[in-house]
């Protein structure tokens, strides 16, 4: 009898935990996520499909990235996406299996000397505040690069167009989207796809380690990801990503990547 009662209590507890709506946050990172993008962007659609597969209710809110990371580290939200992985973040966060892969492309002015000889020694790199720069660990030139950190990627691109910085390094899809919006005609910027920082980078769903049942959330997410890959939904999302990406590409030589 006691065993039966215990089983019943555990069953009720499990159902209660599953019924909790998980609060998820993301930010503006077109074409992956964005409040004004169709259905919130490709990554938003992927995350919703994953949690649908494992019957977990979620809510998704679009907030600034810095606030999102603060909320994660303090355990105020259950998760966020899409994020790159670095050593600093791994202290406080659990990472899912990767949800996207991409290339890092160097965006420069069309008259840049870097188009002829790609040497970053003494160059000025622009990356917005809060954006990951751990990719610099992959180059011996890192200590010889000056880094500018304005508040937005739009500011970086304006600085690049004016020749105040030499290069911006970012996700191929994201860079193309930003440039096409900021310079719809006669863009002064182009992309260099030379695998200088490596061939492949990954984006993840993350959960704060201090959040209740954090490991279970990650395990459920990975299970849902495997399910949408096996039933073909994931490839549909990737095709949507590739379709969106270059009505007018800012990196004609880029070999874009989407699926895993």
Q: Per residue in 214-252, pLDDT tens?
A: 999 999 999 999 999 999 999 998 887 766 544 344 555
Residue 255: inside a domain: no
Residue 124: inside a domain: yes
In the numeric block, the tokens 């310079």 are attached to 183
Our count of domains for the chain comes to: 2
92-111 pLDDT, tens digit per residue, is: 999 999 999 988 999 999 99
Q: Identify whether residues 66 and 52 lie together within a single domain.
A: yes
Q: Identify whether residues 32 and 118 lie together within a single domain.
A: no
Instruction: State the sign of the Cα–Cα–Cα–Cα dihedral 65, 20, 59, 97.
Output: positive
4-18 pLDDT, tens digit per residue, is: 444 444 444 444 445
Residue 250: inside a domain: no
Domain that holds residue 162: 104-192
Q: Identify whether residues 96 and 209 lie together within a single domain.
A: yes
What pTM value is reported for the model? 0.81
Q: Identify whether residues 89 and 161 lie together within a single domain.
A: no
């Amino acid at each position: 009898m006691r065993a039966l009662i215990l089983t019943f209590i555990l069953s009720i507890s499990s159902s209660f935990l599953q019924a909790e709506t998980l609060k998820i946050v993301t930010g503006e990172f077109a074409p992956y996520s964005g409040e004004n993008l169709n259905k919130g962007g490709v990554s938003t659609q992927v995350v919703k499909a994953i949690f649908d597969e494992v019957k977990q209710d979620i809510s998704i809110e679009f907030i600034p990235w810095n606030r999102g990371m603060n909320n994660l580290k303090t355990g105020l939200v259950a998760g966020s996406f899409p994020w790159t992985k670095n050593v600093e973040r791994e202290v406080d966060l659990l990472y899912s299996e990767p949800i996207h892969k991409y290339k890092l492309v160097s965006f420069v002015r069309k008259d840049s000397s870097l188009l002829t000889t790609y040497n970053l020694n003494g160059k000025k790199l622009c990356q917005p505040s809060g954006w990951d720069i751990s990719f610099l660990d992959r180059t011996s030139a890192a200590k010889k690069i000056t880094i500018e950190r304005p508040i937005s990627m739009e500011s970086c691109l304006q600085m690049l167009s004016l020749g105040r910085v030499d290069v911006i390094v970012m996700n191929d899809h994201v860079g193309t989207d930003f440039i096409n919006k900021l310079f719809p005609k006669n863009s002064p910027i182009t992309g260099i796809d030379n695998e200088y920082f490596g061939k492949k980078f990954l984006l993840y769903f993350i959960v704060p380690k201090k959040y209740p049942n954090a490991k279970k959330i990650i395990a459920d997410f990975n299970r849902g990801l495997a399910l949408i890959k096996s039933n073909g939904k994931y490839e549909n999302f990737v095709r949507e990503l590739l379709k969106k990406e270059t009505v007018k590409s800012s990196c004609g030589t880029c070999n874009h990547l989407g699926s895993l």
